[in-house]
């Protein structure tokens, strides 16, 4: 799916709704939540905030075509507006699997279902409200955590990854995209500086960058690639392969043989 197709999928037409949530000074910056205000501008927000997001998203369809198996389910965990769900449901080939998107945000799911009604994909797709830590998973050939695990409390992450591994059929895969940390403090700081430069190049002011960083400070907790790799292997995945990285954002593929 190209950028024009992505814009049509999100129904943003010629002028995308612009993210100005943090454009005005705030006396107190509240913790970040995926509420109605975020849902309204989410395509603009994530596209201008996450380096390589469009590329990562477009390649999820290729991975779904590779790992999706007949009679199984592809789960998009923390699906937001369902962009990855649609990519998986529109993947090339005729393998008959279904796609299920799960999210806690009613505002996100309302807009995702509107998009589903307007643009039904090639394969069955449904959206459900629920906590991915508790939602039952079974007969999965692929699971997607596209910038989701970073919002899950650290103490719950290993349990969730093991739950996903247990739900995958042999040959199934997990796509894990995350903002990552670096063990080397200087490298970590370099990546933060470049990420902020990326956001400034996309039109965010220093005030917006600072206030959003404060909002995310105790909500989005990144980990190193080695921490992710160790957790995935301990959960039962046999192969863990980083396949995309742009600054401090990375996507990994974990396969269960």
CATH number of the domain where residue 186 is located = 3.40.50.150
35/135 Cα distance (integer angstroms): 21
Report the chain's terminal Cα–Cα distance, integer Å. Answer: 29
257/254 Cα distance (integer angstroms): 10
Per-residue pLDDT tens digits for 48-86: 999 999 999 999 999 999 999 999 999 999 999 999 999
112/117 Cα distance (integer angstroms): 9
- Residue 11 pLDDT grade (very low, low, confident, very high; cuts 50, 70, 90): very low
- Alpha carbon distances (Å) from 118 to 11, 66, 112: 9, 27, 10
Question: Which pLDDT score is estimated for 14?
Answer: 45
Q: Provide the total of helices (H) and of strands (E) in the chain, helices listed first.
A: 9, 8
CB 120 within 8 A of CB 148: no
Q: Which residues contact 2 (CB under 8 A, 6 or more apart)?
A: 58
Length of the chain: 257
- Residue 15 pLDDT grade (very low, low, confident, very high; cuts 50, 70, 90): low
**Which residues on adjacent β-strands are paired with residue 142?**
74, 173
Gyration radius (Cα) of the chain, Å: 18
User: Mean pLDDT, the chain, as a whole number?
Assistant: 94
- Residue 16 pLDDT grade (very low, low, confident, very high; cuts 50, 70, 90): low
36/123 Cα distance (integer angstroms): 28
CA-nearest of 59, 132, 137, 47 to 98 is 137
Per-residue pLDDT tens digits for 119-163: 999 999 999 999 999 999 999 999 999 999 999 999 999 999 999
CB 31 within 8 A of CB 215: yes
Quick one: tokens of 191?
């990546």
- Alpha carbon distances (Å) from 189 to 31, 167, 192: 23, 37, 5
pLDDT at 21 over 90: yes
Per-residue pLDDT tens digits for 84-127: 999 999 999 999 999 999 999 999 999 999 999 999 999 999 99
Per the structure, the complete domain to which residue 238 belongs is given by 3-255
Number of domains forming the structure of the chain: 1
Distance of CA 256 to the CA centre of its chain: 20
Q: Which residues contact 84 (CB under 8 A, 6 or more apart)?
A: 57, 60, 76, 101, 144, 146
- Residue 2 pLDDT grade (very low, low, confident, very high; cuts 50, 70, 90): very low
């Amino acid at each position: 799916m190209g950028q024009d197709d992505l814009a049509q999928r999100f129904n943003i037409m010629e002028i995308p709704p612009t993210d100005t949530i943090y454009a005005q000074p705030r006396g107190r910056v509240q913790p970040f939540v995926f509420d109605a205000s975020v849902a309204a501008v989410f395509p603009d927000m994530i596209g201008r905030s996450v380096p390589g997001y469009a590329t990562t998203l477009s390649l999820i369809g290729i991975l779904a075509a590779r790992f999706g198996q007949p009679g199984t389910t592809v789960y998009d965990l923390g699906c937001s507006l369902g962009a990855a769900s649609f990519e998986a449901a529109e993947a090339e080939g005729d393998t008959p699997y279904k796609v299920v998107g799960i999210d806690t945000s009613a505002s996100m799911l309302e807009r995702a279902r509107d998009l589903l009604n307007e643009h039904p994909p090639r394969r069955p797709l449904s959206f459900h409200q629920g906590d991915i830590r508790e939602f039952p998973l079974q007969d999965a050939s692929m699971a997607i955590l596209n910038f989701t695990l970073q919002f899950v409390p650290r103490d719950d992450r290993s349990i969730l990854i093991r739950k996903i591994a247990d739900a995958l059929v042999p040959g199934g895969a997990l796509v894990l995209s995350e903002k990552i940390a670096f063990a080397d403090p200087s490298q970590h700081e370099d990546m933060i500086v470049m990420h902020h430069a990326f956001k400034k190049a996309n039109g965010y002011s220093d005030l917006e960058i600072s206030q959003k960083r404060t909002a995310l400070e105790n909500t989005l907790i990144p980990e190193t690639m080695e921490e992710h790799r160790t957790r995935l292997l301990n959960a039962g995945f046999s192969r863990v392969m980083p396949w995309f990285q742009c600054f401090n954002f990375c996507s990994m593929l974990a396969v269960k043989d």
